[in-house]
Structure 1
């Protein structure tokens, strides 16, 4: 009986994708097999025919076919080429049998307690990397990050001994990563801690969320900064806290303005988000004294202390916390890359034990292999060299940005004294930076409007945060010129 030959036009490649062509060929063949387009015993297109159809080298198709043979999806037959395997081990999914939705249902509207999709958020266009002047905050610079070093650490983490250990269901916090936090990260901030006082989290934001969840099991009266990081404020309100915001000044949050009866204060004392203001030592001491006198706790978000290229950052609030009232959240993501999503929470052992149990119910633990890869990257000195290179490059970009701004009507309203990766900017009165941001996209410029950082509805609209970690130094002046041109037209 003649075998059915599969037509080459069943398969396709995504030319816009940067993924390897050989990988795409394997995936499109597998998809056709699992969806029953390619049935067992059917002949695949010859490597010559498929390479002509896809416009790739014949060897690329041959290598993809051979790997599919090794995986058991295809098999070879003398003089017949490649056939779809009939092993019985490959599940095949039905095509066209999906249940069609009848229509929009209101069944969930009475179950969901709030529409989170409408919350105020810091956002940027998805295609910001394709634009020439991205003043985007919190993104890595791929020209500085050493991909080969990270890849080598990932290879080491996939060694059998490490893999067996970190792939276990019993794996929690990687002891190598915890040890680095204890021996290198925390001492840089003046903090001493023990292993049972540290919890690895899925970024600093996850650490803050765990704390919010723990604190709001009962009624909670909390204080946040204004302006401040919007996700912290919204997480507290989402969890039912009674939140008061306190306006910051050039020295950060004024402790004397914290209302009586407050139970928890959320602060960014070393580098206020978003203005960059640093809380003075005297004010920190006053905050801790009030915490003891009024019996409240403090949650310190120390998200960017590594970017100190002008002067050393002030010691962490946690470093002078003698009464164990401060929970400290730190992150690797800002210095490495945001998609890493690794951070840590430091506090009294009983609190960390509770946070560990809560984390276990939410996500068990951060991925073990990712923790081990990061631990190797840190322990082998790659992280320290990366920080050195970032500080040098960001110092140049900050200088260039400040110089460019001096030629405009834009006013620098805040900046981290020790360095950082952004400036807080005030546009002339009457400028709405959310409208400005939309208009600037046509000029290839991405900026971050400041409105989401303020609480309430009657908030200033003329502020903007300009990040310089994502824009090359030689594009900063032109980017600022384009912003200034739009402001002048406004």
Structure 2
């Protein structure tokens, strides 16, 4: 690869002759690892013009570098970084400059959290990855996804690929969501009531920004999706964490000053509890009585392999109080980052304007590729394949957990891809996770899902979406033995 001439520049305050400075900047680039063996340097003529020096000055600098084996000359091809050049140091480079900025004072608002979730980037190298939300390459339809992506790159889709949607979305994808996806959840919506987002988390952020202020109050489930709690804390609204029970969020526990409730009624995160119809109606009645809005995150409704999913809360809403969050990232792959919001037109209009000021819109090529993948039937085939695999894995993990006497705190009644587990009270699952990782077993400690400083440390999530069925029993056995060692 040829090194661009723009990467070479002389420091105005540098000392030494021009020849020395040029030699130094090339040598420093090699020693810093920016210029690598085999990469081609700009020609002496081009570099001289770029630096505003004579060509002979550059040639003399190159001659010195040749003598020290930093670079080599290949006939008429030019100069290249030598394979024998000194290697960059193994330790990271440091700067002698000292910042005079007091960042503790300069940062006006903090977005980092002390409690969060982390997943190792190399999770796939673990033999027993009971890790949630990652794509399983053995199940994903790569071939048809590739064909749909190629079709979206075709000439007939040039406008969809290159257009700046700004305040709109791919009309074909909106049409499919309105006519095919939402009716399966009992929801009817017009195009101006649907907004595409960069996944469910982006949808939740947009919703919080539009609906909440520092004077308003939000209620969340406890435990809940940690990123949602972080979003609401950043909004600086008043926040109430409502403990869930075996039926999910109890409406009677909501404070009267509530303005917005965030809930996962069909598949509570992370306990997997399903809110019964009577409680759903009670929640909607209380929303009307106390004049608050409900944000429904309907994740994983597709993974209903035990029995059909319960109707979406929004399908029961007759007063326009429910804002619905859906996502393709869980059922396709997390890197897709494509979700959608469904709500009354005035809300969607404001959310669309906010989206436009932050990221404008999800990439047109992604939108059209997903449209083809959905409309060609590949998505339904994928969901069917995943459901069958998850059902098999669920039966296997249920049997293994029962054999080893491990406690399941929550399991989705219709399916899903993970179990909510409880260890003995004296067990800190963060310590358990560290010990298991040393044995090539990955689990997710549950402390990050809870609010407050007194959150319990003995819960953990055990997902089966990314682990092959034959390995489940072995992983559960190691988990049980490790728990016994801690006991």
Which residue is equivalent to 1:477?
473
Which residue is equivalent to 1:21?
none
CA separation of 1:39 and 1:434: change in aligned 2, threshold 3 A:
same
Runs of 4+ in 1 over 6 A off after TM superposition: none
1:393 aligns with 2:389: yes
Which residue is equivalent to 1:436?
432
Contact 1:124 1:446 in 2 (8 A): no
Determine which structure has more spread, i.e. the larger CA radius of gyration.
Answer: 2
Which residue is equivalent to 2:366?
370
Per the TM alignment, residue 243 of structure 1 is displaced from its structure 2 partner at its CA by 0.4
1:129 aligns with 2:124: yes
Per the TM alignment, residue 383 of structure 1 is displaced from its structure 2 partner at its CA by 0.3
Per the TM alignment, residue 176 of structure 1 is displaced from its structure 2 partner at its CA by 1.2
Per the TM alignment, residue 36 of structure 1 is displaced from its structure 2 partner at its CA by 8.7
Per the TM alignment, residue 110 of structure 1 is displaced from its structure 2 partner at its CA by 1.1
1:164 aligns with 2:159: yes
Structure 1 segment 57-76 matched on structure 2, within 5 A: none
1:214 aligns with 2:217: no
CA separation of 1:402 and 1:99: change in aligned 2, threshold 3 A:
closer
1:268 aligns with 2:271: no
Which residue is equivalent to 2:42?
39
Which residue is equivalent to 2:341?
345
Per the TM alignment, residue 138 of structure 1 is displaced from its structure 2 partner at its CA by 0.6
1:295 aligns with 2:291: yes
Structure 1 segment 19-418 matched on structure 2, within 5 A: 37-40=40-43, 100=95, 102-170=97-165, 172-217=168-213, 219-418=215-414
Please state whether the residue corresponding to 2:104 is helix, strand or coil: coil
CA separation of 1:200 and 1:401: change in aligned 2, threshold 3 A:
same
Gaps of 5+ in 2: 4-33, 46-73, 80-92
CA RMSD in angstroms, aligned pairs only = 2.4
Per the TM alignment, residue 461 of structure 1 is displaced from its structure 2 partner at its CA by 1.1
State how far apart, in whole Å, the 2-side matches of 1:194 and 1:386 are. Answer: 27
Please state whether the residue corresponding to 1:443 is helix, strand or coil: coil
Contact 2:214 2:238 in 1 (8 A): no
Please state whether the residue corresponding to 2:403 is helix, strand or coil: coil
Per the TM alignment, residue 119 of structure 1 is displaced from its structure 2 partner at its CA by 3.0
Q: 1:488 pairs with 444, 464, 484, which one?
A: 484
Please state whether the residue corresponding to 1:117 is helix, strand or coil: coil
Contact 1:451 1:459 in 2 (8 A): yes
Contact 2:160 2:170 in 1 (8 A): no
Normalising by the residue count of structure 1, what TM-score does the alignment of the two structures yield? 0.80
Contact 2:113 2:230 in 1 (8 A): no
State how far apart, in whole Å, the 1-side matches of 2:109 and 2:464 are. Answer: 35
CA separation of 1:101 and 1:255: change in aligned 2, threshold 3 A:
farther
Which residue is equivalent to 1:455?
451
Per the TM alignment, residue 169 of structure 1 is displaced from its structure 2 partner at its CA by 2.2
Per the TM alignment, residue 177 of structure 1 is displaced from its structure 2 partner at its CA by 1.0
CA separation of 1:301 and 1:83: change in aligned 2, threshold 3 A:
same
State how far apart, in whole Å, the 1-side matches of 2:464 and 2:98 are. Answer: 46
Per the TM alignment, residue 107 of structure 1 is displaced from its structure 2 partner at its CA by 2.9
CA separation of 1:118 and 1:211: change in aligned 2, threshold 3 A:
closer
Gaps of 5+ in 1: 7-30, 43-78, 85-97
Per the TM alignment, residue 417 of structure 1 is displaced from its structure 2 partner at its CA by 0.6
Please state whether the residue corresponding to 1:116 is helix, strand or coil: coil
Contact 1:409 1:428 in 2 (8 A): no
State how far apart, in whole Å, the 2-side matches of 1:81 and 1:383 are. Answer: 55
Contact 2:130 2:442 in 1 (8 A): yes
Per the TM alignment, residue 166 of structure 1 is displaced from its structure 2 partner at its CA by 2.7
Which residue is equivalent to 1:47?
none
State how far apart, in whole Å, the 1-side matches of 2:485 and 2:224 are. Answer: 30
State how far apart, in whole Å, the 1-side matches of 2:100 and 2:126 are. Answer: 39
CA separation of 1:218 and 1:240: change in aligned 2, threshold 3 A:
closer
State how far apart, in whole Å, the 2-side matches of 1:414 and 1:99 are. Answer: 49
